[in-house]
Chains A and B, each alone.
Chain A
């Protein structure tokens, strides 16, 4: 077991070292694509960390991403970069804590709708504040951050998310979340403080999403609420995590990578019908792969294992 973990860790570090070399290729298009891939990998993995075990479908990804991006828009030029990231993370955690405490009592479709509405609410609040208080709508982001810097930060965040997810899955909190996902009533009667467990993981997941927004912000140079709080991000992340399989830590990445590439292709070739195609893809995924690519791989590996076992006994 420990040998396996060590081997896996070594492989992960090697992959990380190789991925860190991508900006050295000197190809701006590949770098931009790699940034998109990492962005969605982190977002989808963070989404799956909470929604996978609990089966609470959240459409609030955009809200947190936007909070992160907007924090940079407001503070990016005033404060040193690490401090900006720290404040963004703290803001994301605070918003997530408040939202979590007020909404995680909701279940099923009510939670979905609320998280969707929440994104819109935060966007409107930002618009209201900018129009009435700061009297600007749209801000320029002039910070000294290169595309390579964005890439490396995202790569570090990716590594951190996987490490965090792995630790949580092995922890009592991770097990509590799985029990909650199975049957919340039973969870309570097993002595699980279900509200705390859900809010804790929702907050961790949201903090990561906020950091992604903050790290990505310098890429735009100009930010306004409709850019930072683009609800498409919520849906894309949801589709990716479901395609990959949100019940495994490594599931969402299996959806994030192919779909980012596909979205890239589609949005370039069919800019007007992009969303229609997206909807159809979503339907197909739900029908064909209810447990995602991860579930398909597991099924294949167990049936293959079963066949070898049968052959051995025959």
Chain B
């Protein structure tokens, strides 16, 4: 919140990435303001995950700029982008199975600058476990956790870095209805902390409950952008989802 309304946390301009002849992300532009939750929607294969991979440095863009707090991060190595304040979770949940919960979270904060003292790190780890609902599980091996607890742990690891921008790739997928409610509450509570979030999600109830604004992609292009309620009732969006073909609107 201290950043004020000045520079958006994330500004993307003319982003493009092709795999051979397939243009997975085509001339994508959008901006995310401080404290906003932005939904990134679209049918399977529309380029959402590619977009997240470009932003987090897994892939290099062919063209375009990606600015995090005003700094161009397009083409930077993932670890550099991570140190600049970007954290993410993965479509298929990734926790460090050979480590306990405490160490999983430690991985998220140990390599950020400036380094925390060991005592401060322990305090932060405890607070994060508490925050995501894993209090008391410090020494539990990550491999023993249930599916939702693995998701919680992955989120705690991402939050450990105190990110300015958090990318959640289908974090709510695969949860049962009661878990979904817990998950939505958890993400909503992050907004209260002023964390800016880009959310790739198929669970529409979650999108409605959480996102301030949404972008819809189809075949690599942005086909709609705006307030969540408006976007979800947009004819082109409905056609893209139900018809599976991009509307030539």
Question: Which residues of chain A have a CB within 8 Å of any CB of chain B?
Answer: 172, 175-176, 178-179, 181-183, 185-194
| Nearest-Cβ distance from residue A183 to partner chain B, whole angstroms | 6
**Mask: chain B, 66-102; 1 = CB below 8 Å from A; 0 = not:** 0000000000011100110001101000101111000
Structural contact, A189 and B110, CB atoms closer than 8 A: no
Closest to B98 in A: A182
Q: Which of B79, B83, B98, B112 has the most CB of A within 10 A?
A: B79
Question: Which residues of chain B have a CB within 8 Å of any CB of chain A?
Answer: 56-58, 77-79, 82-83, 87-88, 90, 94, 96-99, 103, 106-108, 110-112, 115, 157, 161
| Nearest-Cβ distance from residue A305 to partner chain B, whole angstroms | 14
Q: Do A178 and B99 contact each other (CB < 8 Å), given the known contacts A191-B79, A193-B79?
A: yes
- Residues of A near B83 (CB, < 8 A) are 191
Q: Which of B90, B103, B110 has the most CB of A within 10 A?
A: B110
Known pairs A185-B58, A190-B82. 10 more at Cβ < 8 A?
A175-B107, A181-B98, A183-B96, A186-B94, A188-B77, A188-B78, A191-B79, A191-B82, A191-B83, A191-B161
Structural contact, A191 and B112, CB atoms closer than 8 A: yes
**What is the bound-complex CA distance between A54 and B219, given in angstroms?**
38
| Nearest-Cβ distance from residue A168 to partner chain B, whole angstroms | 15
Closest to A195 in B: B77
- Residues of B near A191 (CB, < 8 A) are 79, 82-83, 111-112, 161
Select which of A185, A190, A193, A194 is within 8 A of B107 by beta carbon.
A190
- Residues of B near A193 (CB, < 8 A) are 77, 79
Pairs across A and B, CB under 8 Å, 8 listed: A172-B110, A175-B106, A176-B111, A181-B98, A182-B99, A186-B96, A190-B82, A190-B161
**What is the bound-complex CA distance between A188 and B82, given in angstroms?**
8
**What is the bound-complex CA distance between A250 and B237, given in angstroms?**
60
**What is the bound-complex CA distance between A185 and B87, given in angstroms?**
12
Structural contact, B96 and A182, CB atoms closer than 8 A: yes
- Residues of A near B108 (CB, < 8 A) are 190
Structural contact, A190 and B94, CB atoms closer than 8 A: no
Closest to B109 in A: A190
Question: Which 4 pairs from chain A and chain B are nearest by CB?
Answer: A188-B78, A191-B111, A182-B96, A191-B82
- Residues of B near A175 (CB, < 8 A) are 103, 106-107, 110
- Residues of B near A176 (CB, < 8 A) are 110-111
| Nearest-Cβ distance from residue A104 to partner chain B, whole angstroms | 14
